[in-house]
Chain A
């Protein structure tokens, strides 16, 4: 099935900025959402409509979408941000997800 492309892993030092990309043709005409998933837990929505944060999500999480690439940025990364991150978009007649990125805080 069709998936959006993400890098498998991103490493970041505490306090630095983590950048996760998500690529796919559908992103040129669709908004992106992003989810955080910690081991053994359900995904949590952290960004919707490309750049909007749900209530309760820290300001250090931000998003953007340009061309066929959406980006999730975590500024001032904390140890608690270590998790898997997935992008998601709508493609014609179904929702599609990214391949997932593991963020490691070293």
Chain B
């Protein structure tokens, strides 16, 4: 069965760029009608969808984060990535990657999540 695993730094300085990678195992990224999403969860803001990317490279971002987000996909490595720039303390959260089956189908499964703390 498909599994996802996030990787990246746990501590980032304010104003810097966060880079996270999600490795997919047990299945291919190159699936029709399957999208690959990033989400985050913080105590103050709950769960928040950051955006998704398709294996072709097409994407959609949350309008509230659009100006700071870039996503990419590497089908040869079966990975997709998130870059979030101009970090502030408000970006401190647990970041998840997840398989996105579509608007009505839900996110399934999720990675285990990685805690990112923005701290000087």
Size band of the B side of the interface? Answer: 20 to 34
Q: Is B63 located at the chain interface by the 8 A CB criterion?
A: yes
Q: Pick the contact of B103: A1, A90, A98 (CB < 8 A).
A: A90
Expressed in whole angstroms, the minimum distance between the Cβ of A66 and any Cβ of chain B is: 16
Distance A100 CA – B42 CA, assembled complex (angstroms): 12
Q: 1/0 per position for A73-105, CB-CB distance to B under 8 A?
A: 000000000000010101001111111100000
Contact status B107-A97, CB under 8 Å: no
Whole-angstrom distance between the alpha carbons of A31 and B101 in the complex?
13
Task: Count residues of A near B (Cβ-Cβ below 8 Å).
Answer: 24
Q: Is the CB of B64 within 8 A of A42?
A: no
Instruction: Tell me the smallest distance from the CB of B109 to a CB of chain A, in Å.
Output: 8
| Interface pair A100/B104, CB less than 8 Å apart | no
For the complex formed, measure the closest distance between the CB of A49 and the CB atoms of chain B, giving whole angstroms. 5
The listed residue (B37, B103, B106, B110) touching A42 by CB distance below 8 A is: B110
User: Which of B7-15, B17-25, B44-52, B74-82 contacts the other chain?
Assistant: B44-52
- Given contacts A42-B111, A42-B113, A94-B62, are A88 and B106 in contact (CB under 8 A)? yes
Q: Which B residues lie within 8 Å of A93 (CB)?
A: 60, 63
A30→B103 CA distance, assembly (Å)? 8
Q: Which chain B positions have C-beta within 8 A of A42? A: 96, 109-113
B34 CB → nearest A CB, Å: 14
**Are B107 and A1 interface neighbours, CB within 8 A?**
no
Question: A3 an interface residue at 8 Å Cβ cutoff?
Answer: yes
A33 to B103, CA, bound (A): 9
Taking beta carbons and an 8 Å cutoff, which residues of A are in contact with B? 1, 3, 30-31, 33, 35, 42-45, 48-49, 54, 86, 88, 90, 93-100
Q: List 13 A-B contacts (CB under 8 A).
A: A1-B45, A1-B62, A1-B64, A30-B104, A33-B105, A42-B109, A42-B112, A44-B108, A45-B109, A90-B104, A94-B62, A97-B49, A98-B46
Which 8 pairs show the lowest CB-CB distances between chains A and B?
Answer: A31-B104, A33-B106, A90-B103, A95-B49, A42-B110, A97-B47, A45-B108, A48-B106
